[in-house]
Chain A
Amino acid sequence: MTGAADCIGLRSARCAIAVGALLLAGCATVPPDAGKNPRDPYERVNRQVFAFNDKFDKYFMKPLAQGYEAVLPHAIRLCLSNGFSNMSEIRNAVNDILQIKPAGFATDTGRLVINSTLGGAGCFDIATRMGLDRRHEDFGLTFARWGLNTGPYLVLPVLGPSDVRDGIGLIPDSYTSPIGYIFPVVARNAVLGVYLIDTRAALLDATSLIEQAALDPYQFTRDAYFQHRTSLQYEGNPPTPRLEDDSGESGPGATKAKPAQPPPPDQR
């Protein structure tokens, strides 16, 4: 492995910078109970990668994304963003087949056809306006459908939060992206670069909020990742576990006007 950036096709100079930064960033604070969480046995390593990603983002991706937002008009950015999203319909459709989801397959291929034609090669998301909502499928979810568990949590360099199952799923998924088939390689890397910047730009508002809300952004991101993947697995309607009130406090004082009453489990 020649470094994170190489995996996603960035040029080797950037790759070298990235690897260098990774070494520099190797000073993440690791809490004493690191690795005790059964879902995160590699926490020590993950925290280092998380710290690297944070630096890589701060000094590289975020400034690029900000420049991108400043330079390009909103309409063009939206067009590009829709175009990339349109390409991902192929991944969705392939995984619909593998999971035997005919309705999803119909939606995703319908979206692909409509947006690629009426939507001006994906520039406009006409399909959503026609009532075909955007979905998300990937190989990690296909593995889940096949009965595989997530395995341990992994923070992938540059790519961010993942787990063993979903990380492996990225490999077959990469073959479904048209970007991988662009030649020459220079053009492919250029498109990939714009894709990454576009993705980052969509997050500009989001990341500062994570920094604000979370006491420990690493832990917050990890737990959110697993919850979010479970939700995707159930197409947005996961079984809702009862929130255990183990505060030992259900009587006077804290619960106004209500006697201890066990909430009925609302699993459906």
Chain B
Amino acid sequence: MTNSSRLLHRAIAMGVLASVAILVGRPAIAADAVSRAEMPPDALVQSVSSEVLEKIKSDPALHSGDFSKLQKLIDEKVAPYVDFDRMTRLSVGHGWRDASPEQREALTREFRTLLVRTYSGAMSRVTDHQVKMRPFRAQPTDTDVIVRTQVAPSNGDPIALDYRLEKTDAGWKIYDVTILGVSLVENFRNSFASEVSQGGVDGLIKALTDRNKQLAAANGKS
């Protein structure tokens, strides 16, 4: 493999890892969520990502890939800062217009589950990773910004991990994660569009559901 394709693969892995962000269920209102609503976007990303990495490093159950526990962690620590609805809408794109309310709900639910499952697998591999912030350039009046970070194991290449955030009434919310230049939303858009063109919105829902079932079976075994 070429060096760049090696990086690419790691990028994708980290991407999945990064969907850290994205995951998630009913927003659990944690106490710290309130104060973080006031935070500027770069401070928010730094605070959330360091906290999640620290938790995983310090808890053996999370480290060994306890799925339900990881999911709970993400629900509490990451979900409140992610606009999951918007991510699903952006990823589904054109297909969203034709989808019924029931289909939209199913899409959001299955997409979330897919990301939660892949993410839990990725997070169990976190060992000695550190988050470093890269220079943040934005005007105070901006409502849509990119926060650039690096995630690095103590030995090894750092992975560029960027978050796109939008200002909402409830504070800044993440709506995309870019890993080594690969945007998760943009990539899912392409594959979702291709599923929709082949099997309609129902085809996409089925593809997501099937994938989730496969992953559930695989998780059960390990």
- Which residues of A are in contact with B by a Cβ distance under 8 Å? 31-33, 78, 88, 125, 133-134, 136, 138, 140, 158-162, 166, 170, 196, 199-200, 202-203, 205-210, 212-216, 219-221, 223-225, 227-232, 234, 236-238, 240-241, 243-249, 253-258, 261, 263-264, 266, 268
Beyond A138-B3, A255-B86, whether A227 also contacts B96 by CB under 8 A is: no
Q: Is the CB of B7 within 8 A of A247?
A: no
Closest CB pairs A-B (n = 7): A231-B181, A247-B96, A206-B13, A248-B97, A263-B144, A247-B89, A206-B9
A200 vs B92: C-alpha distance when bound (angstroms)? 33
User: In the complex, which residue of chain A has the Cβ closest to the Cβ of B10?
Assistant: A206
Q: Is the CB of A224 within 8 A of B12?
A: yes
Q: Is the CB of A266 within 8 A of B170?
A: no
A243 vs B169: C-alpha distance when bound (angstroms)? 21
Q: Is the CB of B9 within 8 A of A203?
A: yes
Q: How many chain-B residues does the 8 Å CB contact rule pick out? A: 73
A-B contact pairs, 18 of them (CB 8 A): A31-B194, A199-B1, A203-B1, A207-B9, A209-B12, A213-B16, A227-B187, A228-B4, A228-B11, A229-B4, A232-B4, A240-B164, A243-B175, A245-B90, A249-B89, A254-B104, A256-B85, A264-B144
Q: Is the CB of B6 within 8 A of A224?
A: no
- B50 near A: Cβ within 8 Å? no
Residues of A within 8 A of B85 (CB): 254-256
The contact string, 1 if C-beta is below 8 Å from chain A, for chain B 105-125, is 000000000110110011001
User: In the complex, which residue of chain A has the Cβ closest to the Cβ of B92?
Assistant: A247
Beyond the given pairs A264-B143, A268-B137, 6 more chain A to chain B contacts, judged by CB atoms under 8 angstroms and listed by A's residue number, are A202-B10, A213-B12, A214-B191, A215-B195, A243-B186, A248-B97
Quick check: which of B30-38, B70-78, B155-163 contacts chain A, the rest being far away?
B155-163
Residues of A within 8 A of B16 (CB): 209-210, 212-213
Residues of A within 8 A of B166 (CB): 263
Residues of B within 8 A of A219 (CB): 190-191, 194
Quick check: which of B51-59, B61-69, B207-215 contacts chain A, the rest being far away?
B207-215
Q: Is the CB of A266 within 8 A of B7?
A: no
Q: Is the CB of A161 within 8 A of B182?
A: no
User: In the complex, which residue of chain A has the Cβ closest to the Cβ of B215?
Assistant: A212
A-B contact count (CB 8 A): 189
Most B CB atoms within 10 A — which of A162, A203, A224, A253? A224
A28 vs B97: C-alpha distance when bound (angstroms)? 33
- B103 near A: Cβ within 8 Å? no
- B48 near A: Cβ within 8 Å? no
User: In the complex, which residue of chain A has the Cβ closest to the Cβ of B204?
Assistant: A215
A1 vs B135: C-alpha distance when bound (angstroms)? 48
User: In the complex, which residue of chain B has the Cβ closest to the Cβ of A198?
Assistant: B6
6-46 of chain B: CB within 8 A of chain A: 6-13, 15-17, 19
